[in-house]
Amino acid sequence: MSVTFVMRRLRIVAREEVEETLRRLPAHLRREAEALPVSYEERPNAEILADGFESDLLGLFVGPAFGEEGTAWVDVPAQILLFLANLWDYAEGDEAVFREEVRTTFLHELGHYLGLDELDLEERGLE
């Protein structure tokens, strides 16, 4: 299988998992989460790595947190980035583990958008 085919398949599976996760959120959170774009990237780009993030990063929330859109000075819109090749590597090629990690990583980054810090996320099992 080519890398392109694998990445296409991972993108489809990840989108399905994010959509299912969104459907399961309480209505008040779902509305906010559905408005937040999710990008499915292969791996972190050079700019992200230059900002000090590790190359095996699974996901990242960038932009202003919810409620801070008009007050924060940032040059990117709020969005979640999921790094599919890293998630697949983390899952060691197991699709069930990949789906679970996509879900967990998406919820973790969504938590950052909603203003939760690492301790808050840990307390919710989204570390």
User: What average pLDDT does the segment 4-14 reach?
Assistant: 95
For 11-51, write each residue's pLDDT tens digit: 999 999 999 999 998 888 888 889 899 999 999 999 999 99
Residue with tokens 């998992």: 17
How many domains would you assign to the chain? 1
pTM of this structure: 0.88
Predicted local distance difference test score (pLDDT) of residue 127: 55
CATH code: domain of residue 51:
3.30.2010.20
Write a three-state SS string for the chain: CCHHHHHHHHHHHHHHHHHHHHHHCCHHHHHHHHCCCEEEECCCCHHHHHCCCCCCCCEEEECCCCCCCCCCCCCCCCEEEEEHHHHHHHCCCCHHHHHHHHHHHHHHHHHHHCCCCHHHHHHCCCC
The separation between CA 83 and the C-alpha centre of its own chain, rounded to angstroms, equals 8
Residue with tokens 């292969």: 42
For 78-106, write each residue's pLDDT tens digit: 999 999 999 999 999 999 999 999 999 99
Predicted local distance difference test score (pLDDT) of residue 52: 96
Range in 6-10, 11-15, 38-42, 61-65 with the lowest mean pLDDT: 61-65
Predicted local distance difference test score (pLDDT) of residue 73: 60
Domain that residue 99 falls in: 3-123
